[in-house]
Amino acid sequence: MEGLAAKLERIWDLEDSIFTPREQAALEMATLFTEDYRAISAEHIQRWRQFFSDAELVELATFMALADGFGKVVEMLGLGDVEPACSAEL
């Protein structure tokens, strides 16, 4: 069985059948969070609750905030390579 990290080596399509519905929901959440978190609606949250408990949603959102914020800090302080290592961004 192929792991998620190997799946992300490809250019992803959220609808690609290589991802389980739960993985698709997490990828949609991460994409919206990092690209335009204000676009997340009550309908998104309701749909994600089909796959995650409230506690899991909080955990996912917290990790997304930490990862997104850490990347911004690294870039702001010039501590790392600004160019992505691959075409998929987590």
- Tens digits of residue pLDDT in 17-75: 788 999 999 989 998 998 899 999 999 999 999 999 999 999 999 999 998 899 889 88
Q: How many domains does the chain have?
A: 1
CB atoms under 10 Å from CB of 37, counted, come to 13
Distance CA 29, CA 71 (A): 18
Is pTM beyond 0.75? Reply is no
Structural domain for 22, as ranges: 4-76
Say yes or no to pLDDT of 5 above 60.
no
Does residue 90 sit within a domain? Answer: no
Q: Check residue 40 and give its pLDDT.
A: 95
**Residue written as tokens 């690294």?**
74
Phi, psi dihedrals of residue 19, rounded to the nearest 5°: -100, 140
Does residue 40 sit within a domain? Answer: yes
Does residue 82 sit within a domain? Answer: no
Does residue 35 sit within a domain? Answer: yes
